[in-house]
Chains A and B, each alone.
Chain A
Amino acid sequence: MGRDTVMEKKNNAGIYRGWIKFWNRNVERWLYAMHRITGVGVGIYFVLHIWETGNAAQAFLNNQPAQWNNLMSSLTNYAFHTGLLLVAAAAVFHSLNGARLIMSEQGWLIGKVERPTYPFLPSSLRGIQRPLGIAIVVLSFVLMAFAFYQLFVLALGV
């Protein structure tokens, strides 16, 4: 049967089943999805941060400490600091997981090629990169706790 006789249903998994639906998959797929989500999130924050800080810099040109401190006060609230907490956690995770990916993509951390023997388990998923990925998630939560202390305990007096 050639392609001419095939009436195709476009059958791509798409963004939801391809990128986002990771909970029924392997650990590395979770890390991939989180890497993408955190990357896009931190990237958007970066652009907004540059723009916002650029606007606030006017206070320095005009030598206006009150203008600057008022702006900082207006941004010191639960909603904004919750966002900052998520951004901090995302940045930490993305950086550390990125380091793990750089090393994996050099052929390190992914085990060695072996003579195939039953049950034919893949060596890349049994390499050091998997426990390292889990350790990175744990470390991200630990640093997130430190960020929580800075953003909520010190800044907001929670």
Chain B
Amino acid sequence: MRESRFMLLQYITGSGILVLGAMHFALLTLQPGGLPTSLQYSSVKSVYLAYGLLFELLLVLLSFHVFNGFRKVLIELHQGRTYEKAVSWLMLLGGSVTFIWGTLTILVFILGVTG
């Protein structure tokens, strides 16, 4: 994939994270009682599917944006064909593992709510 396509995705995911991240922060802090109340078991238990979908979307966007960002920083640090390929694959692996682990976590929360 051309580098400009990677960067277009970086822009799109970055913009999405700005919006969804702001929603995540707002939902954590703007309810009555603020952050301490929203992190209590009873508050988290009352999370519904829509909130889970927000987290899932945020997870997808962050997984790409963070690991592509790490990839760019690492490739700027050191160059070489083998090194660059290894970094790219490693970041892809890291992003995938983070995404899978996060998705399972979100399912657990939703399952935990509905189970």
Contact = CB atoms under 8 A, between A and B. Distances in A.
Task: Judge: A and B partners, yes or no.
Answer: yes
Interface of A: 15, 36, 39-40, 42-43, 46-47, 50-51, 53-54, 57-61, 63, 65, 68-69, 72, 76, 88, 91, 95-96, 98-99, 102, 146-147, 149-151, 154-155
Interface string B30-57: 0001111001111011000000000000
Interface string B81-115: 00000000000001000100110110011011101
A102 B102 contact: no
A57 B73 contact: no
B70 A43 contact: yes
Contact of A47 (B40, B98, B104): B98
Contacts of B109: 57, 60
Interface SS of chain B: helix, strand, loop or mixed? Answer: helix
Contact of A50 (B39, B101, B108): B101
Interface of B: 11, 14-15, 17-18, 21-22, 25, 29, 33-36, 39-42, 44-45, 59, 62, 66-67, 69-70, 73, 77, 94, 98, 101-102, 104-105, 108-109, 111-113, 115
A50 B34 contact: no
B112 A61 contact: yes
A41 B10 CA distance: 17
B34 A150 contact: yes
